[in-house]
Structure 1
């Protein structure tokens, strides 16, 4: 006998509370294997393929592509058992042949679901069983005259069963999201014919009914002048702040609200640094990136000025100095700005840093960074010179305490050894949290970075 299990959007970690459905990887009626990816979602951190812990036949999907769902909302239901996972045959639609959608994972046999656990879901413990669905007339609750609506068990078959005309009785709908949509729009689900298995009412059915009702409705009344005046711009495009863009907006706003930041900057002659890099790459072996050399300089500077590798615990009113440098770097992608993190950057060589920067940059471009790749940074290096600009006032990547910005390196007139010469000059900007240190410390850090850029041999003293 098959059971229909409900798979909910899991907690994908890092405190994420919602995700947007980007692409469904399965359709209703498809046979899925245990731990097979069934949907691709976009969180505020990354694109994630979500595997289903059950094996069987997909009986329903909840949410269209582009829909945002909260963690814990139903994603899909799967009929397991009765040979569905192995043979792929449809589950019998006869009354009593299956149980209600949303039966707990603990009700299925161990062979029908995965032992693998993502954060927030899996097989660690049984969920509460939901009431079974009956096809007979619903009971009247407490004599109050309200009929208790019960969901019909979805039964995937070769073709949907005929749907009778609306009558009093149970409404064949499983998803609480579908019920809420109908309730919010004032739609009576008893007047909706379901297109799903056994007449199951799907979200698409409700949306079609609502669209038909809007078409048949009378022309809306004119908009009051006051309401028109409240619109900031007629015909203006509205772009939702969600996904990566929404997460960036929230973090930048929080940074500006909570952190009393200040910025200092200095021009530096990078001619010797560029010559040193050229000599390294000419010697053979893997090529060393400029970003890797700047990262080495940053980690050495943070070892001398640990105040800037810290965070502020506002609740405890304490500065927390962090033992390791996990270096974030700003990367522009088609999905927006992201900040991948190089773990333990202070212990890596220039070759190791180059390799890790390349790996994370490619993952960012492909949209395959994991939440772990994008969190846990303690200091950020922002090379905005790649955009052809000389300087900026970086916004600190909350909850870090500082960010170093690097402009483009270009030939400029410069006084070198007492004479005017054309040198390769770069502007360095440091934005820092004034709570963790004063200007003397920030200036000392920036000056040390500039000295290493101008005279790379300065690093030899700390190697």
Structure 2
């Protein structure tokens, strides 16, 4: 092997951001010596050298987005054959191409523009997906492109999403395209809770009860075969907000762990996220997700279900409000709940029974 390319990183990942080189051109390296660190949707990963030898050339720099299969380094030695040579005669013709609109599918829609307009968009650095067409039959005109270019000239330069924020954007787009999402909401009465109750631990316990009542919400869905796999263990993804974007590390086997063990695991997991040292295996394999967004703000939401899971429970801010008990109005405490589920797999009745079980467990004093 003379040219080493970015290897398959698993989990369907197709690209990574180059964080830092561990070597330089001219360095002698040994087999399995770290060459570089890359950041994927899952974690920061070190890529080891596949062979020993002297580095002749480095192909990318820190901050570059690298596709799987793209060259990383070349080792000194015999060069590889150039696979990009054109062989044979190139035929020419006298036909004249008409500048007709070309339709290209993108982001679930269609973009119609002539080759000349596409060339203008490239020249002006305008993404055609941002342009509202004014031409007949939804065709983007040159004037449309120029209008958007004028607007963009008054904004800050485009800032490419990188690292985990880029991965978040890709995951959200995939989820939006893949999942038939539906959301139901309700309020859980928590008047019986003692002061200082651990809200997250109570939510985890209630979610476990919901999964035990309706196991279909703790499953993976295989859309290619329209098959579901109901899972025995509950490996809970916990949505964690950070300045770099949304992380969803996984608490394993939450149904069979003590509260103290879960709290210790959650604290350690959040510390790892804050320090950006989450092991890759702790970012994989969630079977259902919890988002306690109420620690920031908000009552209800429509949280996003990430395939292959089929459900996410969101909890809003605990609040006091007027409630009716035995025909009398008084002040009570409630937690607003939002359950989003993949309606291809989960019926409305199953989702409702899951949420009812969650609410019943949250209503208990202990």
Name the TM-score, length of structure 1 as normaliser: 0.60
* 1:239 matches 2:159: yes
- Equivalent of residue 15 in structure 2, options 18, 28, 42: 18
2:133 is matched with none
How far apart in 2 are the matches of 1:248 and 1:274?
37
* 1:454 matches 2:366: no
Deviation sequence 1:54-97 (CA, Å, 0-9, x none): 44543321101121222232222456xxxxxxxxxxxxxxxxxx
State how many pairs are aligned. Answer: 309
How far apart in 1 are the matches of 2:264 and 2:219?
26
2:108 is matched with none
Give the conservation status (yes or no) of the 8 Å contact 1:390–1:408: yes
Give the conservation status (yes or no) of the 8 Å contact 1:413–1:423: yes
Deviation sequence 1:370-399 (CA, Å, 0-9, x none): 443222111110110121222212121222
Unaligned ranges ≥5, structure 1: 80-98, 102-129, 132-141, 145-223, 279-288, 458-463
1:306 is matched with 215
Return the offset for 1:271: 3.6
- SS of residue matched to 1:364: helix
Are residues 416 and 78 of structure 1, via their aligned partners in 2, closer, same or farther at CA, if it must alter by over 3 Å?
Answer: farther
- SS of residue matched to 1:234: helix
Return the offset for 1:244: 2.7
2:187 is matched with 267
Return the offset for 1:428: 0.8
Give the conservation status (yes or no) of the 8 Å contact 1:248–1:337: yes
Give the conservation status (yes or no) of the 8 Å contact 1:404–1:431: yes
Return the offset for 1:274: 4.7
How far apart in 1 are the matches of 2:266 and 2:172?
23
* 1:335 matches 2:247: no
Give the conservation status (yes or no) of the 8 Å contact 1:14–1:371: no
Are residues 55 and 401 of structure 1, via their aligned partners in 2, closer, same or farther at CA, if it must alter by over 3 Å?
Answer: same
* 1:100 matches 2:78: yes
Are residues 54 and 445 of structure 1, via their aligned partners in 2, closer, same or farther at CA, if it must alter by over 3 Å?
Answer: same
* 1:256 matches 2:168: no
- SS of residue matched to 1:291: helix
Deviation sequence 1:166-211 (CA, Å, 0-9, x none): xxxxxxxxxxxxxxxxxxxxxxxxxxxxxxxxxxxxxxxxxxxxxx
Are residues 232 and 381 of structure 1, via their aligned partners in 2, closer, same or farther at CA, if it must alter by over 3 Å?
Answer: farther
1:322 is matched with 231
Are residues 232 and 266 of structure 1, via their aligned partners in 2, closer, same or farther at CA, if it must alter by over 3 Å?
Answer: farther
Return the offset for 1:21: 1.0
1:70 is matched with 67
- SS of residue matched to 2:185: strand
- SS of residue matched to 1:408: coil
Higher relative contact order (CA 8 A, sep 6+): 2
Greater displacement, 409-418 / 427-436: 409-418
* 1:381 matches 2:290: yes
* 1:425 matches 2:343: no
- SS of residue matched to 1:233: helix
User: Which one has the bigger strand percentage?
Assistant: 2
Name the TM-score, length of structure 2 as normaliser: 0.74
How far apart in 2 are the matches of 1:298 and 1:358?
19
Q: How does 1:153-302 map to 2 (within 5 A)?
A: 227-231=145-149, 233-235=151-153, 236-237=155-156, 238-275=158-195, 278=197, 289-302=198-211
How far apart in 2 are the matches of 1:355 and 1:34?
38
Give the conservation status (yes or no) of the 8 Å contact 1:45–1:374: yes
